[in-house]
Chain A
């Protein structure tokens, strides 16, 4: 192996929280294995490499880029396009790049609403002159520029061609190492467009909680409203768990920690919309035939769009709230 050239690895973040980058660090001592096989050529959180340096690389110079974060600004888009050009394999890493993620929830608002809230009405803001970020601002010293803040949050594949998707908020580190090793060892890679680092089954398959056909839910509870018995299917206890429509791969971590699955791993293959199947499955667990009984049960699903599309609004069929 020693005489094999090292592969070139890049990690970049768009609209992200930083958790994905930390998950890469979570490889712990495996990092030595990674470094043994790969050169990290670009990773803003850890290395001082400038955009200019990337721009100067020949096309296809990077073997793998892990792009985490959604596309929210012109900078994100520029970097996505740049890294696409410079990379052999571009991986949408984590829920935000995959489906829009938590930043994608901003698609319930538009740019004006967000600016108004953040720079004007927010309780901690004092902005009497109503100064808002602008792409260009003239100051004494010259012109200041900021990237353009888009009206919509986009997934990575809505901006560039993506080779693979590695979902999760953040992705399970073991899955990352598996994928990395597959590339390093020259294993046959899955067809382009595949979701990797996942199982071909939903969460429930690995969930140890007791499940039955007795769903008959009349009301959903928020986690603090009931005491979980620790062993029965959370949905059967009326705690909305996204397990039945969320792809496995994380190891049912949330449910193992007695918290309901929130759906960060996205839907099963072949499902065009991440929340629709879950909505359908959840409604299928309800009891009640009269409209008012059904209304009452649905009322207890406080925020369906935010619940079923917590990690995936930009990647959903409808993409965003209508204007």
Chain B
């Protein structure tokens, strides 16, 4: 199906990409081969096609040789398609007359056999030369960008991004599923390496969010549906029933005192169960907003219907409403930032460390609460019995990190927070503190210095992975203690260290519902389950879905400074989108040739976006181009050959197939 029209003049450019392509593919050989293909006027190879001189070469040739089609064989179109389209357009040629050939990601990086890789590169180049002849001049569709922004997740990343955007005058919807914003940071006592109090730096930000006129904060809410596309998303937020009229509650907490349960009786999520709470509660004193929440799973009214509702009676503002139902609110935004955070590793999955079996094995997050002055023990580090102060403490690094059995990745924050906890525990208890580590990873400003400081504070460091924590004493001194067995790889012996308290430095995992969130926002996850960025280096907060950005630990384990930095980056990306005022969409939409449409309506069900509708009067179907996202499913379904798709039309794909195979 080669298009033998005389007016097709193709310029072919193949890139060495330094040695990336050139060391495997015979680049000049491919250029020589392509120069002999029909319609090819110019065929050149160059060290770096994406560089300025490379692009200028294309532009010069377009003018000099009157080229009207361009083929660039280099890297993946997902990386540089826009670059070469831009170069093509600069020379006055329609940018869609350019076709890319992927001979790097697809070829030179994955094959060693030079001969076969070169054959493959020739096949792919020939396919593009065939295809490009069928390309049509197209214009990108320009759509306005709604300047409002949705931010999902009210941890430190979400808070930072919200404030940056709100301060720039943009309207932000911040959605948080818990009853308060603050995320994990709100649970920490101090932050490394500066040891400044987490609450002191976080709570002012939380109240700024609440007070900010440009921020609409919805806690106890979840996103339940997302429609639309970059610049024009329609999002449904489900507000879960809090059983409190939020606008009336002033956070006096009189209802909590009045609850029929005189003492807290239920698992307190904020304190990881180290404390108990009532059915009506506020997660922590500085919770934002200062609005109580009624837990309908434990509240007597919901369980039996027979409670006298002393809480509601104690409320002098009549804020209680036990009849509240989930409420769906639809909002329109132009861009979305996901800051949905992480899930700490559940150490029950690492049974050799005895968590859940020995009461005095704690997770690092539990210890964060124990050392916190406003925590369940008011900052007194006590064993699970609630009275005994530990005299010796072992901190085990890499629980659920760098481990074939659980998670292979390094969670990046554990070394530093373990050092911080070692410091705080030493300070609070003066106990003997042992750190069991595999490698000490402290890259970060002031981090290595912090490690140095700890080395001089009398904290013990034992290099080796702990094999187990046991209560099986082999000597009298081990009796009644937890024994940590580990190989000390620096002196080459197995050591047994008896301690009163074991702290497991749990790693960071993707949030439990990361997959559902990913699907809802049409983004991808990398193999370990964190959200996938568009490019690990060049587009770290973008996703493959335009207008959806990611920041913080939902993208991968990271500490507070990095989360805040990413939040800023995501906010900047959003601002760029808003300030441009419009986005250009790929014109790969489908359309129906009216005369050919027979009105069978097979296509209508193909479209997930209800872009196709049937005109009863005309007996024909029509595609609303604004709703079409260009998947092409309807094109394949049409028996009448009445639907075509820009950039991926039958003749383009068929000519590509023929070009690939027919030498």
Stretch from A100-108, A134-142, A208-216 at the B interface: A208-216
Q: A201-B595, A244-B598 are in contact. Are A281 and B614 (CB under 8 A)?
A: no
Shortest Cβ distance from residue B599 to the other chain A in the assembled complex, whole angstroms: 6
Partner of A281 from the list B596, B602, B619 (CB cut-off 8 Å) is: B602
With A203-B598, A244-B598 in contact, do A281 and B641 touch (Cβ < 8 Å)?
no
Please determine whether B598 and A215 come into contact, CB atoms closer than 8 angstroms.
no
Answer whether residue A154 sits at the interface, using C-beta atoms and an 8 A cutoff.
Answer: no
* B604 close to A280 (CB less than 8 A): no
| B interface bracket (residues with beta carbon within 8 Å of A) | 20 to 34
| Pairwise interchain contact B640-A201, C-beta atoms closer than 8 A | yes
Among A36-44, A109-117, A263-271, A296-304, the one that faces the other chain is A263-271
Q: Are A281 and B638 within 8 A (Cβ)?
A: yes
Chain A residue contacts of B601, Cβ below 8 A: 211-213, 215
Task: Determine if A133 is an interface residue (Cβ-Cβ < 8 Å).
Answer: no
Which residues of A are found within 8 Å of B598, using beta-carbon distances? 201-205, 243-244
Within 8 A of A (CB), among B550-605: 595-605
A271 and B641 contacting across the interface, CB-CB below 8 Å: yes
Interface check B458, CB cutoff 8 A: no
Please determine whether A205 and B637 come into contact, CB atoms closer than 8 angstroms.
Answer: no
CB closest chain-B residue, reference A205: B598
Beta-carbon contact of B599 and A281 below 8 Å: no
With an 8 A cutoff between CB atoms, is B250 at the interface? no
Which residues on the A side are within 8 Å of B169 (C-beta)? none
Chain B residues positioned under 8 Å from A280 (CB to CB) = 636-637, 639
A233 and B606 CA atoms in complex are apart in Å by 18
Q: What is the interface of chain B mostly: helix, strand, loop, or mixed?
A: loop
B654: interface (CB < 8 Å) = yes
Q: State in angstroms the CA–CA spacing of A215 and B598 once bound together.
A: 15
Q: In the complex, A45→B388 CA distance in Å? A: 112
**Among residues 269 to 301 in chain A, which have CB atoms less than 8 Å away from a CB atom of chain B?**
269-272, 277-278, 280-281, 284-285
CB <8 Å contact, B637 and A284: yes
Residues from chain B with a CB closer than 8 A to the CB of A256 are none
When chains A and B are docked, how far (Å) is the Cα of A270 from the Cα of B654?
12
The listed residue (A200, A244, A269, A270) touching B639 by CB distance below 8 A is A244
Give the chain B neighbours of A202 by CB distance below 8 A: 598, 600, 639-640
Q: A201-B596, A204-B600 are in contact. Are A269 and B637 (CB under 8 A)?
A: no
A280 nearest in chain B by CB position: B636
- Would A245 and B605 be within 8 Å (CB), given that A201-B596, A204-B600 are in contact? no
Determine the chain A residues whose CB is within 8 A of the CB of B642 once the complex forms. Answer: 268
- Residue with the greatest number of chain B CB neighbours at <10 A, chosen from A201, A202, A216, A233: A202
- Per the bound structure, the CA–CA distance linking A285 and B604 in Å amounts to 10
Interface residues of A in 4-41 (CB under 8 A from B): none
Q: Mark A207-229, 1 if CB is under 8 A from B, else 0.
A: 00001111110000000000000
Q: Chain A residues near B604 (CB, 8 Å)?
A: 213
Given contacts A202-B639, A213-B604, A280-B636, contact A268 B596 (CB under 8 A): yes
Distance between Cα atoms of A243 and B638 in the complex (Å)? 12
Residues of B within 8 A of A211 (CB): 599-601
Contact yes or no, B602 A278, CB < 8 A:
no
Cα distance A216–B650 in the bound complex, in angstroms = 26
The complex places the Cα of A203 from the Cα of B598 at a distance, in Å, of: 8
Query: Residues 624-663 of chain B: 1 if any A CB is under 8 Å from the residue's CB, otherwise 0?
Result: 0000000000001111111000000010001000000000
The reply to whether A245 and B599 contact each other, CB–CB distance below 8 Å, is: no
Q: How far is the CB of A185 from chain B (nearest CB, A)?
A: 26
Bound together, the chains give a CA A201 to CA B642 distance in angstroms of 9
Of B598, B619, B636, most A-chain CB atoms within 10 Å: B598
By the criterion CB–CB under 8 Å, are A269 and B654 in contact? no
B272-320 contacts to A, CB under 8 A, are none
CA distance A306 to B412 in the complex (A): 62
Once bound together, how far apart are the Cα atoms of A250 and B491, in whole Å? Answer: 92
List B contacts of A244 (CB < 8 A).
598, 600, 602, 639-640
Q: Determine the chain B residues whose CB is within 8 A of the CB of A277 once the complex forms.
A: 638-639, 641
A254 CB to nearest chain B CB (Å)? 16
> In the complex, A259→B600 CA distance in Å?
17
* Chain A residues closer than 8 Å to B614, beta-carbon distance: 213
B654→A200 contact, CB < 8 A = no
- Residues of chain B within 8 A (CB-CB) of A204 are 598-600, 640
Contacts of B654 in A (CB 8 A): 272
Give CA–CA (A136, B581) in the complex, Å.
83
Assembled-state Cα–Cα distance A246/B598 (Å): 11
B641–A243 touching, CB < 8 Å: no
Give the Cβ gap from A202 to chain B, nearest Cβ, in Å: 4
Interface residues of B in 461-516 (CB under 8 A from A): none
* B639–A245 touching, CB < 8 Å: yes
Complex CA gap A277/B639 in Å reads 5
Tell me if B602 and A215 are in contact (CB < 8 A).
Answer: yes
Question: Looking at B597, B614, B636, B637, which has the most chain A CB atoms within 10 Å of its CB?
Answer: B637
Q: Chain B: which residue is nearest A214 at the CB level? A: B605
Report Cα–Cα, A29/B443, bound state, in Å. 98
In the bound complex, CA of A244 to CA of B606 (Å):
15
Task: Using known A-B contacts A213-B614, A215-B605, A272-B654, determine if residue A243 contacts B640 with beta carbons closer than 8 Å.
Answer: no
Q: What residues of chain A lie closer than 8 Å to B605, measured between beta carbons?
A: 213-216, 284-285
Given contacts A213-B614, A284-B637, could you give 17 more A-B pairs where the C-beta distance is less than 8 Å? A201-B598, A202-B598, A203-B598, A205-B599, A211-B599, A213-B604, A233-B600, A243-B598, A244-B598, A245-B639, A267-B641, A277-B639, A278-B639, A280-B637, A280-B639, A281-B602, A285-B602
Instruction: Give me the 3 closest cross-chain CB pairs, A-B, nearest first.
Output: A245-B639, A284-B637, A213-B604
